Each structure stands twice: as C-alpha cells, then as structure tokens.
Structure 1
Amino acid sequence: MHGQPHMQVLCGTSLPAPQKWEQDHVFLSVDAMKVAEPPAWPGKATPSPADPSGSGSEAHIAEDDNALLLTAQSQMLVYRALAHGVVDDLRIVPLSSARGERHRSSAGSLSCIEEDEETQVVRHRLDDDPPATEQHMRGRRGVADFIAGRIPGTGTHVGMSRRLFAACQNLDVLQVRAAREAEASAVPLPIESHVVWDDEALYAVTRGEQLVYRERQQPRERREAVRDGFEQSDSMSWRMLLGDREPVVDWRRTGLLEGATAETYIAIEASDPVLRSARD
C-alpha cells in the first residue's frame, strides 16, 4: 500500500541476564509513529525514474540496481521466514508472468488476484493439465511461480517471486558475513561488577559498532549481489534455493483472499480475525 497513510510500529523486548532474573524485570516496548508519506529514497527527493502508479521502488527493479536493492532490503524478514523454515504450509503459487500488466492505481501496486484476469487464465489452464511438481510447471506459458507460506498462529500467508527470493538470498549472505566480521572485530565492553555504564556511554559504543557494520557492507557489492541473484534465478529450482526442500505446487485454495504486486504475494484466510473485525 505504498503512499497510503499507515502506522509504523516498532516492538522490542528486554530480557535480563541469566544471573540477574531476581533483580531485573522483563519489559516490552512499543513505539508507534504515523507515516503519511512513502519513505524517501536516500539522496533523492522522488523516485527515479518517475513512478505515477505509486508502486514504489518495485516498479523499477528490472532496470535500476538501487531500486532492486531497496526492494530486497524491504523484504528480508519475509525472505528469512520462507528460507529458514519459519512459515507453515510452504508451497509454490502460480501467478501470471505479465507483471507489468497487473492492475495498478494511485493507491499502489497491490492487486487482488480475483481481479487479475491474466492470473485467472493461467490457473484455469493449469486446472486442465495440473502439474504434479515444480519441474512439470516450469516452462508453462505465462506462468510465474511464487513461493508462499503461512505465518504460524495467524491466517496470513506471505510470499515472493523466484527472482526476488534469489536477490534476497545473495543479500542475506553478505549481511551475515558482514555481521560476523563486525562481531569478530568488535572490542568487548569492559563490564565489571563495580563499573556503572550510563546510557550515553553504552550508546556511544553501540553506535560505533553499528558504523563498523555498515561500512563493511559496501553498497556496490550489495547492488551487484542482488542483481546477480535476480538475473540468474531462472536457472535455479526452488529446491536449490530452499536448501533441498521441495515445496508442493498448490493454487486451489478456498477461503483465501489473495493479493500480489509484481514481486510479492500476500493472502489472508477468511477466518482470520483481521477480516472478521473488518466485516464487523
């Protein structure tokens, strides 16, 4: 829903050290902020090239490396949930490959699948000759295979395209490597029982470590990595991308409200409290 007023909510939990359970408390913090405008691009007043559809950086990922990197960064939580087995019901969802022809409006690029005529045609064609595996579906005319899964304990399903998944995978490799290098080079805090660290001192040390971490993630290397994954994804199977897991092909779900952008997928079960409260 790029460009629409929304709330940005940040949640955090503080846990005491194992030896301090009796002295310290567990607490939860929630910071909420109203966001009325789409996030600004670093160093740019408006997205470039121009984006009249309001679809954000995702509309330009085919030709703009910065836009691809921005999109991959915004989807890293979804990628890690899909890649590392956090989701339930992992499956391949076929959509139309006509990404640029999907319904768009000034509200953003998310469109309902039930209104996506191209995807409906693709799925009817698959109904006539159902693919048993991913291999049987690859190469079918007009088909783009997305990976999707349900967030445990909810009725929400999230997913993404093969090429965005591969781009996120390459970015994840760089982020993990940079984090390990930063951890290895970090100077340990000289915390002793008789030393009291105030918030300002802790912030200065933490901030310094963050700067080291960011400096190690070279922008050019990240842009090249996500572009390589994006361009090479067609030569990779989902089994390769998912570490030898082979998801089933499944698109015939009832009671599921589906939506998609050019590269991302989301669905909500009709029984989910979010939809029930909206109807009430």
Structure 2
Amino acid sequence: MASLKEVRNRIVSVQSTQQITKAMKMVAAAKLRRAQDNIMRMRPYAQRLNSILSNLTAQVGEEMESDYTAQREVRRVLIIAITSDRGLAGAFNSNIFKAVNALIAQRYAAQAAAGNLTVLAIGKRAHEYFSKRGPILGNYTHVFGQLSFETVREAAEQAMEGFRTGQYDEVTMVYNEFKNVATQVVQTEQLLPLVPAAAPATSTATSNVDYIFEPSKEEIVQTLIPQSLKVQLYKAVLESNASEHGARMTAMDKATENAGELLKSLKLTYNRTRQAAITTEILEIVGGAEALAASR
C-alpha cells in the first residue's frame, strides 16, 4: 500500500491536471464559437457558388474546355490531408491519418507503390506524420496561426497548378467535417478534376435559370472555376478548424470528468491509509502500555 505522502502527492497532481483540463475546455469553447460562426457563414456562399457554376457549365455544355476538368489516366496523385497544429483533441488527428492510409490502400495502392503519390499536409500534425512516410508538397504548418482565405489560397493554387501542368492527375481532400460539438465526420472529396454536380432529373431549376452574360459564358466559367476550387479548399479548412475545437472541448470535458473520478478514488485510498496508520499507532501505544504494566 502506498504511503500517505505518496497518495497526497498524487491527489495534488491530479487536482492540478484537472484545473488545466478545465481551462483548456473553456478556451476551446470560446474558439469554437468563432470557428462555428465562420463555417456557418461560409457554407451558404460555397453552396451558392457551386450552384451558379453548375448552372453555367450545364448551359455551356461539353463545348466548354478547362484545364481543371480534364479527365486523365490516374498515374500521379496528390492527397490534401487537413489536421490541426496541436494535439489533445481525442482521435481528431488520428482519424485523418487512418482515413488517408485507408484511401491509399483501397484506391491509390498502385500509385503509392510506384512512388507517384504526394501529400499536401495542412497542419503541423499532418506535416509531422506524412513527412516521415513520403514526399510532402510545400509547408503549410502556419495556416491555422492566422487562418484566412489568403493563407489557404496559396495551398489551393499550388495544387491547382500541379494538376494543370500534369504533375498530378487527381487531387483528393481528406478532412473532418463539423456536425456539432461531439460529432466530426471524416470526409474524402475529389477536388480535381472538377466534376460539376448534376442537377436532379425531376428539377427544372437549373435549366430555367436565365443569366445575362458579360462578357461571355465561357469566360465567366473559366473565372469561376479557379475561384470555386479555392473556396472549396478554404471551406474544408474551416470545417476542420471548427471540428478541432469541438473535438478538443469534448476531450477536455471527458478528461476533467476522469480526473474527478480519480480524485474520488485517491481520497478514498488516502482516508483508508490514514485510518490504517492511526489504528496501527493506537495498537502500538496500547501494546506498549500493557507491556509497561506487566513489567511492574
């Protein structure tokens, strides 16, 4: 059985840890509100932009050609893996690692075996993990320090340029989509080549949209496609950012609860140890008194 001093030291240590996890939970909650507001404002814009692009491409039809819609044999692949800069967020980062590894095994095994698979890692955790396992495109460990469209645009443009020049035949994103504080869903989405979403057969909304084009349909579409791709990646980063704070808030809340349970157990152990020590002292005193009385 541990001594009273050892148990007391453990109690103090757990109490300190509990205070830290409580503080981290509060910080994550404050950051989550801002991140959630950002993604809620971004979603309607991204959806509307994709809708406009789908309408335009449907009207222009197959006559429209773009560097970002070219379908090629998939020989060289770029995977954009989005994680966080820090840990202590439960399985948030490890879920991305597992999803990327599963994607490679199921879809890109031949490309990986041939050394034609590259990862663009957004976030320090992804950079540290994938840099030990293969080629990394760029260094985007600074994105979440000052998260903005400008910081993400650089990564999007590098991926787009790689696809346009034929360096990559397919670009896929893997990230955590924010559902709520306790739920983050890993999403795997193809960024390039761009495949506009087809309108439902029962809906005539797309075909009935009547735009006035200036200067031309084709030129407008060629301008919207790069913008749409950048917005799509920026939205994924915002989703991941909100998911990170939600995951960390949940993890720290659970850690605080676990610390409380451990404190109860340690205090019970401390009291039992203290009672045993007192009982032992009383028995020693009584034994000494009886021995002294007998010697007289």
**Band of TM-score, shorter chain:** under 0.3
TM-score by length of 2: 0.22
Which structure shows the bigger proportion of residues in helix conformation? 2
TM-score by length of 1: 0.23
Specify which structure has the bigger relative contact order, considering alpha-carbon pairs within 8 angstroms and separated by 6 or more residues. 2
Which structure shows the bigger proportion of residues in strand conformation? 1
